[in-house]
Structures are given as C-alpha cells and as structure tokens.
Structure 1
Amino acid sequence: MAIWVIVLAAVSSFVLGGLWYSPLLFGKVWNDENGGVPHPGHPARVFGVSLVFSLLAATCFAHLVGPAPELHHALHMGLLVGLGLVGASFAINYQFAQRSFKLWLIDGGYHTLQFMLFGLVFWLCS
C-alpha cells in the first residue's frame, strides 16, 4: 500500500473524530460521561501524538487487508478490527474502570467506523 494512501486513511480518522466528538454528534454526551472536566494537555501535543497512532493503526490495518482489497473484505475487516478487537478491548478496560456503557458505545463506535473508513479508503485508492 502506498504511503500516501495510509496517510490519507489516518487523516480521514481525524475528520471522522472531529465530527464524532463534536457537539453536533456525541461531544456533549462524551464529555458528560467523562465527568465533564476537560482533560489537560497541549492541543498540539494531543493531536500530534494522536496522528502518530492513527498512522500506526492505518499502517497495521493496511497489512491486514492487503494492497488491493475487495470492498466487502475491507469493510468486513474494519468491522472485525474496530468492534471485535478495539471495541472489545475497550469494553474490558471500561468494566474495570467503572466507565459507562454509553461511553463505550461512543468510543467503540468511533473506532469501529474508523477502521471501516480505513477499509473504504484503501479500497477506493487501490
């Protein structure tokens, strides 16, 4: 998979996240479920580190789906990875941390769509 496709997929997750966690969709509920207190951290650092991890996730996912995935395969793998691996892992952690099911739905839903979006980008660019 070409590096520009991986970068495009990683950036697409920022667009999705910006919308997903905005007040238009789940931002207020997500903030309320996290105690309503903003988390400290310089925005440049937060977004920079997040971009590095999005690139890592997109790179790993590219290896899973291969260089020219069929649409069904790419979306199915996105669902499996997002919900079955990331979402399930979050659910385990959220249970021990006593975090709400609503918060899990928001975060797990984002990552499920993130990986499905990766698959769509990889299919479109193959």
Structure 2
Amino acid sequence: MLAAVSSFFLGGLWYSPVLFGRAWNAENGGEKPPGHPAKVFGISFLFSLLSAAAFAAWLGAAPALESALKAGALVGFGFVAASFGINYQFAQRSFKLWLIDGGYHTVQFLLFGVILGLWH
C-alpha cells in the first residue's frame, strides 16, 4: 500500500509544473486529457496499487535492498519504458515525451524497490 501511495505522490510531483508538467502538456499538444478528475485519480491509484502488488509478488518476501533496486531499474526502464518506446514510435510521439513518461515509470519502480527493500 505504501508503495502505491508513493507512486501516486511521485506522479503528482513529476507531472506538476514544478517538474515536467509544462513540458508534458506541450508535448501532448498543449491539451490536458479529458476526464473527471475523481475518476482519473481513482483509476490511476488502482493501477498504482496493481503495479506495486505485482512488483512485490515478483520480488518475493523480504528482498534485499540492492536486489530490489536492481529489479526496480529493470522493470521501470527495461520493461515499462521500453514498452512505451515501442508504442510511442508507432504513435509518432516525441522522444521528449518518452523521456518524461518512461522516466516517471523508471523512478516509480526504483521507489517501489526502495520501499520494498527496506520494509521488512
């Protein structure tokens, strides 16, 4: 649960004007995605919970911090960001947008690794 909450807060900061929010909006044509905020945030939190739970199950009980961090980097960059890269090529999305979105998921899974590697 803590890992999912950390992901949610990371996303709020990552996609805010403080970090990459303006660049992300510009790369998406300056438009914010449609949708009711409660629905968007609620479903996003459920996906964060699913990601954290799946990652925790994959790591197993009481992973060492170093192993959890390596796994976080592998999953975040090697699986998620790389998969985004494939989709972004076919959708003709920018490299900059891939860096923002892939970077978020890489940091997200590294954060999961820190939390799960220390939480036992």
Per the shorter chain, which TM-score range?
A: over 0.9
For structure 1, the 5+ residue unaligned runs are: 1-6
Q: CA RMSD in A?
A: 0.6
The number of equivalent residue pairs is 120
Pairwise CA distance, 1:66: 1.2
Superposed, which structure 2 residues align to 1:50-65 within 5 Å? Answer: 50-65=44-59
Aligned to 2:36: 42
Pairwise CA distance, 1:9: 0.3
Q: TM-score when scaled to structure 1?
A: 0.93
Pairwise CA distance, 1:82: 0.4
> Take 1:65 and 1:54, find their aligned partners in 2: how far apart are those partners?
16
> Take 1:18 and 1:30, find their aligned partners in 2: how far apart are those partners?
13
- The amino acid of 1:54's aligned partner reads S
C-alpha contact 2:66 2:117 (8 A) present in aligned 1: no
Match of 1:107 among 84, 101, 107: 101
Pairwise CA distance, 1:43: 0.4
Question: Equivalent residue of 1:112, what SS?
Answer: helix
For structure 2, the 5+ residue unaligned runs are: none
Q: Could you report, residue by residue, the CA deviation over 1:61-98 in whole angstroms, capped at 9, with x for unpaired residues?
A: 00111110111100000000000000010000000000
Q: TM-score when scaled to structure 2?
A: 0.98
Pairwise CA distance, 1:114: 0.3
Aligned to 1:69: 63
Runs of 4+ in 1 over 4 A off after TM superposition: none
Q: Could you report, residue by residue, the CA deviation over 1:37-80 in whole angstroms, capped at 9, with x for unpaired residues?
A: 11110000001101111111011100111110111100000000
> Take 2:6 and 2:118, find their aligned partners in 1: how far apart are those partners?
13
Aligned to 1:4: none
